Amino acid sequence: MLFRNPSIPYKRLGSPKIIIYSGGDLLEKDLQQNEPIILLKDMVIGYSKEEPLVQIPNLKIYPGEIVAIVGPSGVGKSTLMKTIAGLVKPISGYAQVCGKIIPESPLRGKLGYIPQDLGLVKHASVIHNVMLGANAGHNKSIIPFIPIILPSLKAKEEATKSIISMGLKEKMYEPIKRLSGGQQRRVATARTLAQAPELIMADEFLSELDEETIAMVIGEVIEYIKISNAALLVVEHDIARARIMADRLLVIDDGRINPFITEITAMEVEV
Amino acid sequence: MKNDDVVEVSLFDWRYFYPVLFIFIFLFTIIIFNGMINDWGRLSNGIGVFRTFLSEDVLPPDWTVLEPLTYPVCTVEPRILDFTCSRAWIGMIETLKIAFVATVFGTILSLPISLLAARNLNTTEVSYIARFVLASFRSFPSLIWGIFFVILVGIGPTAGVLAMTVYTVGYLGKLQYEAIEGMSKSPLEASEVMGLTKLETAFQVVLPESANDLISQIIFMFEYNFRHGTVIGLVGAGGIGLYIDTAIKYLEYDRVIAYLIIIFIVVLIMDFISIKIRSLFTEEVGHSRPKWREVFFPAWMIKR
């Protein structure tokens, strides 16, 4: 069993109960004073109009929040995340991410994304991959060639710091393809932490890790979220782990689990 | 009783008709071939003609092509190396030089175009324009480009380099954009979400990720250019082909066959080296890479 690092303070929001999702109304007031990082209204998500995957009437995610998306496989968790990332076009609805309305993409470095298969450059070294994120976050030259020729010192520092925090100091110059699956996941996490984004979206970024490493990775990520007031949106198949990590659960239900819901929709579970 | 789960099984399968289809295609080919041949007797005459040609004109090969030229006077020391002043050696080295220069120039020109032509990096419009450029370079073989450039810049290796460069851009460009399109989607998606610019994505994600394929294709292209460099001299574009062309014009077929044997041997060696070098860059050889000396020497020589 996994336990959250008690030295990291974060709020729990009420006792566990299941409700149909109703937006951010149940959150505490201090959260609501902020602008939401993600704001979805009447969204229909999927790849074709005939077969919509998920309907989301209303969803707001605020800075400092950790929200886990859970649900049975094939229900559209990853698609929802890709839609928020701007990779999949929504079928209909209004979506605002980091202050930009989709299909407009957020500013450079504001969004961190860990895809399910990590999206690492397999033939390049760990530091190269982490520098991609660090450059996106800290090397914001308008002239496109400059970041390639002149890497900024700040970006390099951030990259090194996040590699060390993920326990990969010895592997810094090792090519990704020689690392184990769990180490590769940590590289992807380090890349996103080095980027210092406002919103981290992670698709099952804890699978293939052992318990100790999970505790370390979750600790680092949650620390980052709480210190820099960012938000974390994570797809998690393990509900127990999601409950430990998340402030809120977003359950995507296709009616198979909950017989009272006939329509494909999203609902919120508070923990 | 419900019969929903029962599936009707039949022995009918379209795959049984494939042999019939193959036989039909073969017969069709024979019919077309028959239409093009006016005299089947010529095929049987060919063997006799070949025998005469071989015994009277071709054999034995004239190995004087490996002897040093009378002018310029060969000054190479020691004397055992004086074959480096021969026609065959000079022509071969020139062919190698043409192939090398054309491959390097062609790679420099084709990389940006193939980055534009890859559909996973660009919009459809941009990629179609880039593909059109590549296809137009590729539509003529390097021999035709050779004729064109010999008209423009005159007989010699310059025309050869230009012709092969143009063809290399077309051919290598196609190989490379296909390699780039074959790369995994998720690194591109991750860098798009991070907000990296197109140039950063191209140089820091796409090129490192597909570098093995690209290098392997460049080496393949050098090998290909070398093989074609022997032909391109026939239209006057330099290299050993120029000497073969001269020999054919003087009906010195014994000399031609000597050149051809030399080309055959060198191409074999080049192929071998190319395969070995490319094997360094193909996927998952394991943790230990083959050493360079293993490329050039057989295993029994290294092992003592």
Residue B25 is which amino acid? I
The total of structural domains in chain B comes to 1
Domain extents in chain A: 1-110+199-271, 117-196
The complex scores an ipTM of 0.78
User: Residue A123: its chain B contacts at CB < 8 A?
Assistant: 208-209, 211-212
**Helix, strand, coil percentages in chain A from 3-state DSSP, rounded to 5:** 35, 25, 45
Residue B209, domain extent: 85-302
Mean predicted lDDT score pLDDT of chain B: 81
**A261 pLDDT above the threshold of 60:** no
Residue B304 is which amino acid? R
Q: Which CATH number goes with the domain that contains B205?
A: 1.10.3720.10
pLDDT tens string B70-125: 667 677 677 666 667 777 788 888 888 888 999 999 999 999 999 898 888 888 88
Q: Under a CB-based contact definition with an 8 Å cutoff, are residues A163 and A190 in contact?
A: yes
Residue B108 pLDDT: 92
Average pLDDT over residues A74-92: 84
Alpha helix positions (H), A26-151? 29-32, 77-85, 126-138, 146-149
**CA pair distance B172, B103, nearest whole angstrom:** 9
**CA pair distance B297, B304, nearest whole angstrom:** 12
**A250 pLDDT above the threshold of 60:** yes
Judged by a CB distance cut-off of 8 A, whether residue A130 touches chain B is: no
> Does residue B7 fall inside a structural domain?
no
pLDDT tens string B15-54: 888 889 999 999 999 999 888 877 777 777 778 888 888 8
pLDDT tens string B233-288: 888 777 788 888 888 888 888 888 888 888 888 888 888 887 777 777 665 544 45
Residues facing B175 on adjacent strands: none
**CA pair distance B221, B223, nearest whole angstrom:** 5
- Element containing residue B126 per DSSP (H, E): helix B124-138
> Does residue B101 fall inside a structural domain?
yes
pLDDT tens string A178-194: 888 888 888 988 999 88
Residues facing A96 on adjacent strands: A39, A101
Judged by a CB distance cut-off of 8 A, whether residue A155 touches chain B is: no
Q: Shortest CB distance from B209 goes to which of A87, A122, A195?
A: A122
Other C-beta atoms within 10 Å of A55: how many? Answer: 19
Given pLDDT bands bounded at 50, 70 and 90, which one contains residue A22?
Answer: very low
Angstroms from A171 CA to nearest CA on chain B: 15
Q: Do B194 and A107 touch (CB under 8 A)?
A: no
- Whether the bond into A16 is cis, omega within 30 of 0: no
**Pairing assessment for the beta strands A248-253 and A265-270 based on DSSP bridges:** antiparallel
Residue B51 class from Cβ within 10 Å (0-12 exposed, 13-18 middle, 19+ buried)?
exposed
Judged by a CB distance cut-off of 8 A, whether residue B43 touches chain A is: no
Residue A51 pLDDT: 74
**Pairing assessment for the beta strands A231-235 and A199-203 based on DSSP bridges:** parallel
Comparing A94-108, B200-214, B275-289, the range with the smallest average pLDDT is: B275-289
Q: Is the dihedral of CA A20, A21, A22, A26 positive or negative?
A: positive
Residue in chain B lying closest to A141 (CA)? B197
Residue B298 pLDDT: 63
**CA pair distance A109, A230, nearest whole angstrom:** 13
pLDDT tens string A43-64: 888 887 777 777 777 778 888 8
Residue B148 class from Cβ within 10 Å (0-12 exposed, 13-18 middle, 19+ buried)?
middle
Q: Do A117 and B195 touch (CB under 8 A)?
A: no
Name the fold adopted by A1-110+199-271.
Rossmann fold (3.40.50)
Judged by a CB distance cut-off of 8 A, whether residue A246 touches chain B is: no
Q: Shortest CB distance from B197 goes to which of A115, A121, A144?
A: A144
